[in-house]
Amino acid sequence: MFWRIFLLNAAVLTLATALLLLGPVTVSTPVVLAEALILSAGLAIMLIANAALLRLGLSPLQRLARTMATLDLLRPAPRPAAAGHGEIAELITTFNSMLDRLEAERATSSARALSAQEGERRRIAQELHDEVGQTLTAVLLELKRVADQAPEGIRMELLQVQETTRGSLDEIRRIARRLRPGVLDELGLASALRSLVNEVPSHGGLTVGRRLQTDLPELGKDLELVLYRVAQESLTNTVRHARASHVELTLRRIHDGVELRIRDDGRGLQGAPEGAGIRGMRERALLIGAQLHLEPGPGGGTDVRLVVPLANAANGSD
């Protein structure tokens, strides 16, 4: 860029000097109209040529600047083309290489973080099930034994305590299943999603529908876990924030892969910034090479789609 601008200016100034030295053109004092017009025309030509050259040469940098301003590693976009000449093309190529490294490093760190998170969830779920669950089960048995021997008035109070303890035990088991759904490992994705839908609270008037195909390609544990977590987070967001009356969960095979879709009729996104839950879904989708689409529904509400390419699904089995 430096040399192109320098050579252009040098050419214009050399031409102007040659005209003054060798041509009939002179500069008088005071300046006459013809001389002023010639000098003004030369200056205008030089400015226009410089502006055109700068506009043409810097346009790839402007596109690169727009890409840098809107860059989001959780939403991969096509790389800017290495257009331009010399240093500009080299700069864009270097930027693309840096972006590749950043995405690879983020994917690696996200995979480690999510793996550690799943391990911690598994450990907590196991402790809740084995330790807290067994302790409360023992408390229930002891309460029953004491209630059977207690007077009538005290027996009714003990039975109420027993029901409260049983409710707490059911809640702990439900939390443990959400932390690490054993049904996912034992019976597969469809059964785990069916169980997840059945656990959605209906006291707020929310109804949940499901359409789960059974003729899916073989999926690995990692892919099944991502599909399950995306469905879990989407349903949780619907219950907490959407104010919806109906939500539909669909799992089906499409021509180029597997699609998970959660659509509700709530109040929609409303331009709210993405929270940790949605960004977590995007990170999980990137780890398996899937595409996550979060859009307004056709009739309002929110439409969440996770598309796993067929090649990824075929290569995802353990």
**Cα torsion through 197, 201, 203, 207, rounded to 10:** -20
**Which residue has 């959407």 as its token pair?**
242
Whole-angstrom distance, CA of residue 16 vs CA of residue 167 = 94
Q: What is the pTM of this model?
A: 0.67
- Look at residue 89 in the predicted model and tell me its pLDDT: 77
Q: Which of 173, 167, 68 is nearest to 127 (CA)?
A: 173
What is the Cα–Cα distance from 203 to 239, expressed in whole angstroms? 10
Question: How many CB atoms neighbour CB 64 within 10 A?
Answer: 21
User: What pLDDT is stored for residue 275 in this prediction?
Assistant: 81
H or E stretch covering 38: helix 33-69
Q: How many CA atoms lie within 13 A of 74 on its CB side?
A: 16
- Cα dihedral sign for 190, 195, 201, 202? positive
Res 307: pLDDT: 92
Q: Which amino acid is at 107?
A: A
Domain 187-318 falls in which CATH fold?
Heat Shock Protein 90 (3.30.565)
CA distances from 316 to 15, 35, 126, 182, 305 (A): 68, 78, 26, 20, 19
Residue 271 region, left (φ>0) first, then alpha (ψ -120 to 50), else beta? left
What number of H helices and E strands is found in the chain? 10, 5
Question: Which pLDDT score is estimated for 218?
Answer: 82
Q: pLDDT tens digits, the chain, 318 residues: what are they? A: 556 666 776 777 677 766 665 666 565 666 567 766 776 777 788 778 777 777 777 677 777 777 777 776 666 667 777 776 667 778 788 888 888 888 778 778 777 877 888 888 888 888 887 888 889 899 989 988 898 888 887 888 888 898 999 999 888 888 888 788 778 888 888 888 998 898 887 767 889 999 998 788 888 888 899 999 999 999 999 988 888 899 999 999 988 789 999 999 988 887 777 888 888 888 888 888 888 999 888 778 899 999 998 776 655 544
H helix or E strand, kind and range, residue 284: helix 276-287
Whole-angstrom distance, CA of residue 288 vs CA of residue 231: 15
Spatial separation of the C-alpha atoms in residues 31 and 165, rounded to whole Å: 104
Quick one: pLDDT at residue 31?
A: 58
Would strands 207-212 and 291-296 be described as parallel, antiparallel, or unpaired? unpaired
Q: Indicate the domain borders of the chain.
A: 2-69+84-104, 187-318
